[in-house]
Structure 1
Amino acid sequence: MDGLLVLADGETFEGRVDSPATATGEVVFNTVHSGYQEVITDPSYAGQIVCFTYPHIGNYGVTPADDQSGRPRCRGVIAREVTERPSNRRAAEAVRPWLARHGVPVLTGIDTRRLTRHLREAGSLCGAFGPADEHDALQAAARAEPGTEGADLVSDVTTREPYRVGDGPMRVVAYDLGIKQDMLRRLGRIATVDVVPAGTPAADVLARRPDGVFLSNGPGDPAAVDVDVAGLLGRVPVFGVCLGHQLLARALGARTYKLPFGHHGGNHPVRRVSTGQVEVTSQNHNYAVSADGVSGARTTHVNLNDGVVEGLECRDARAFSVQYHPEAAPGPHDAGYLFEEFRTMMEHA
């Protein structure tokens, strides 16, 4: 049926929807050419509607092996076109019925280039999409949507009970702030990993006598997330990724802030300060660490597009972090060495 996306600033986009369901959330765009399933099931997209800039998604279908969590986590999907019949030997299902089965609304046929350009100029905006004859209701829903600023979305996606994965020789405790399955697969190669809820006190983590602690990716505003990172520093090696990077920085006194339209894609250039080498990275975050006020740490990586702090290393504690995703699901594998650096840090602790 005819559909309509209405943004909080009143901008509208016409398209087609599969059902009368309404999707509301913060609208962001992602520039990956493949890996749509990994994006859609990434818990970091909780509270958001994802617009894919690549014109076709669904060409190779979906398979449970590529899920990054138990189900789609975004509130809605926007694409120029979704392929009806996938062509891939791994495909277990087409994208449309998979999303419908999980209750995720889909809007297609809109001018995604125009939407992306508008978000780049206006910044991430809340929006709502649904049937075209419900303009006023959609506009009201878009304006009423609170967005992610100040929102603790981690509590919606974290595990309720601890569990164990992996069979590597080291022992790691991973805070589940919205952790992705490929993150656990990479950690599981070097360690036996105890995954714990986000609210687990530092003392309980240390009581497990880990060789290291991992702070995972996750959704929402880092200022709204309460994890006792300071209680870990100096006691055990710490490795943070994405939201974990931001929480480590805040524990060191840094300020975090919201980017105009975030970093969402698989082709962001990042310079490694120590060598000058440029890595092509996978990213998904709306918040960043301010370069000012990081006491006790040095910047290890910098985004070449806008200068965002992409990595930190503590001066007085065995701890480091990166803003991007070294597990690369989806994305390039330039940063896979970071898991080996974590292993080495734990071995020499």
Structure 2
Amino acid sequence: MNKGYLVLETGDILEGKWIGHQDETMGEVVFNTSMTGYQEMITDPSYAGQIVTLCYPLVGNYGMNPDDNESQKPACQGVIVGESCDQPSNGKMTSSFSDQLATWGIPGLAEVNTRKLVSLIRKHKTLKGKITANPKTVTVFPEPLFAPGQLVEQVAVEKAVSYIGQGKHVILLDFGYKASILNDLLKQNVRVTVVPYDTSLKEIQNMNPDGILISNGPGNPDDHAMHFPKIKALTDLYPTLGICLGHQLIAMAYGASSKKMAFGHRGGNHPVLDHETGKIWITSQNHSYEIDPESCIDLELAVRFTNVNDTGIEGFFHPEKPVTTVQFHPEARPGPVDTDYIFDEFIESLVCTGGKSSCQMQQV
């Protein structure tokens, strides 16, 4: 393997060896602490624009296979690992980690001191970085790295796609959804229509949904302020569930604001308290932004979930409408499935309300 380098905006340079597609790339350098699920991580659309550092020492030991992808092709800019296994063993595998990255055109570096890299990110907060073969070239990082809304536009569907089911009809408003979210809905035997994030309110109403799910996705939630009135209207009309970015967008549609975290939450071991039951669940998370608690003092939404480690807001509910939001990923993959009951609650809200909000039911 040829030598490669990760050049950070701080001037720090980490040496490694090329894996995957050997071409320069630039992005926001982040880290994930999960011990398994490297394939699900790098195919998560929420990593668009980012160079993903996988903290677990050995990556690729069970190879890659088409069944575990969260999207058809990764949107991440690159991958950094400590060790990449070249001789994986798994009955399902169809390629090695490095070979699959090359097929996808994703650059990567192995044999990098990932402990040092994570320490640098934690010290300086999330950093811009460049994977290159020549560390001596002058690197200028644009600000911002990507145009507002560019990342969501890159990963969202371009037209509506329908998935047949026998039950209620759910519109999945796509800002970069994971396949596992769709699969968990289909397991509930509902009919799902995935629509682009910029689909109009009227178009959605014409599809006669029973409920709305607003997906995860990459980038800054502030970039989507033009969609706040539509999102607020959807929560007025239909039972609604927001996941990750969807959680942020619903909260901001009600008047909350977001802020960027020092280095985000990415991993499969984040403890979250459900105030409705008093139970603590271990959750899978992947986000750079969070809702600012100071903006929620007079919010119409009420806090249902908080992070045990840093007391951050992890989810809301509406006291009068069937609206729930979660910052974590109830579909997991990778990670624990403690909170998959969120999907059960969502489907139950469709049945109990007949696909109508509380306000609508009062008006009937």
State whether TM-score is above 0.5.
Answer: yes
User: Which residue does the alignment assign to 2:51?
Assistant: 49
Deviation at 1:233, TM superposition (A): 2.0
Deviation at 1:152, TM superposition (A): 4.2
Q: What secondary structure is seen at the aligned counterpart in 2 of 1:234?
A: helix
Q: Are the counterparts in 1 of residues 125 and 262 from structure 2 also a CA contact under 8 Å?
A: yes
After superposition, the C-alpha distances for 1:82-108 in whole angstroms (9 at most, x for unaligned) are 100110111111111110011101111
Deviates more, 1:215-224 or 1:288-297: 288-297
After superposition, the C-alpha distances for 1:231-286 in whole angstroms (9 at most, x for unaligned) are 21221111000000000000110001111101111111111112221100000000
**Mapping of residues 289-304 of structure 1, within 5 Å:** 289-294=291-296, 295-304=299-308
After superposition, the C-alpha distances for 1:86-137 in whole angstroms (9 at most, x for unaligned) are 1011111111111001110111111100100111111101100111x34224
Q: What is the CA–CA distance in structure 1 between the aligned matches of 2:327 and 2:217, rounded to whole Å?
A: 11
Q: 1:115 aligns with which of 102, 114, 117?
A: 117
Give yes or no for the alignment of 1:196 onto 2:198.
Answer: no
User: Which residue does the alignment assign to 1:255?
Assistant: 257
Residue 185 of structure 1 aligns with an amino acid whose one-letter code is N
Q: What is the CA–CA distance in structure 1 between the aligned matches of 2:146 and 2:341, rounded to whole Å?
A: 32
Deviation at 1:199, TM superposition (A): 0.3
After superposition, the C-alpha distances for 1:181-217 in whole angstroms (9 at most, x for unaligned) are 1110001122100100010012211221111000001
Deviates more, 1:251-260 or 1:160-169: 160-169
User: Which residue does the alignment assign to 1:212?
Assistant: 211
Give yes or no for the alignment of 1:222 onto 2:221.
Answer: yes
Q: Are the counterparts in 2 of residues 296 and 316 from structure 1 also a CA contact under 8 Å?
A: no
User: Which residue does the alignment assign to 2:12?
Assistant: 11
Give yes or no for the alignment of 1:232 onto 2:230.
Answer: no
Moved over 4 A (4+): 148-152
Q: Are the counterparts in 2 of residues 311 and 320 from structure 1 also a CA contact under 8 Å?
A: yes
Q: What is the CA–CA distance in structure 1 between the aligned matches of 2:30 and 2:23, rounded to whole Å?
A: 20
Give yes or no for the alignment of 1:24 onto 2:22.
Answer: no
Distance 1:207 1:153, change over 3 A: same
Distance 1:144 1:342, change over 3 A: same
Distance 1:155 1:111, change over 3 A: same
After superposition, the C-alpha distances for 1:290-316 in whole angstroms (9 at most, x for unaligned) are 113331111000011211110100123
User: Which residue does the alignment assign to 1:34?
Assistant: 36
Q: What secondary structure is seen at the aligned counterpart in 1 of 2:236?
A: coil
Q: What secondary structure is seen at the aligned counterpart in 1 of 2:294?
A: coil
Q: What secondary structure is seen at the aligned counterpart in 1 of 2:90?
A: coil
TM-score, length-scaled by structure 1: 0.96
Q: What is the CA–CA distance in structure 1 between the aligned matches of 2:263 and 2:150, rounded to whole Å?
A: 19
User: Which residue does the alignment assign to 1:312?
Assistant: 316
Give yes or no for the alignment of 1:337 onto 2:347.
Answer: no
Two-structure CA RMSD over aligned residues (Å) = 1.4
Q: Matched residues, percent identical?
A: 39
Q: What is the CA–CA distance in structure 1 between the aligned matches of 2:142 and 2:170, rounded to whole Å?
A: 41
- In structure 2, the gaps of 5 or more residues are 354-364
User: Which residue does the alignment assign to 1:185?
Assistant: 183
Deviation at 1:48, TM superposition (A): 0.2
User: Which residue does the alignment assign to 1:146?
Assistant: 144
Deviation at 1:148, TM superposition (A): 6.2
After superposition, the C-alpha distances for 1:127-183 in whole angstroms (9 at most, x for unaligned) are 00111x34224x33xx23624695542111110110112524111000111011111
Q: Are the counterparts in 2 of residues 241 and 322 from structure 1 also a CA contact under 8 Å?
A: yes
Q: 1:99 aligns with which of 77, 90, 101?
A: 101
Residue 335 of structure 1 aligns with an amino acid whose one-letter code is T
Aligned length: 345
Residue 186 of structure 1 aligns with an amino acid whose one-letter code is D
Deviation at 1:62, TM superposition (A): 0.8
TM-score, length-scaled by structure 2: 0.92
Q: Are the counterparts in 1 of residues 13 and 135 from structure 2 also a CA contact under 8 Å?
A: no
User: Which residue does the alignment assign to 1:61?
Assistant: 63
Q: What secondary structure is seen at the aligned counterpart in 2 of 1:71?
A: coil
Q: What is the CA–CA distance in structure 1 between the aligned matches of 2:166 and 2:79, rounded to whole Å?
A: 37
Distance 1:149 1:29, change over 3 A: farther
Give yes or no for the alignment of 1:73 onto 2:71.
Answer: no
Distance 1:110 1:145, change over 3 A: farther
- In structure 1, the gaps of 5 or more residues are none
Q: Are the counterparts in 1 of residues 51 and 80 from structure 2 also a CA contact under 8 Å?
A: yes
User: Which residue does the alignment assign to 1:173?
Assistant: 171
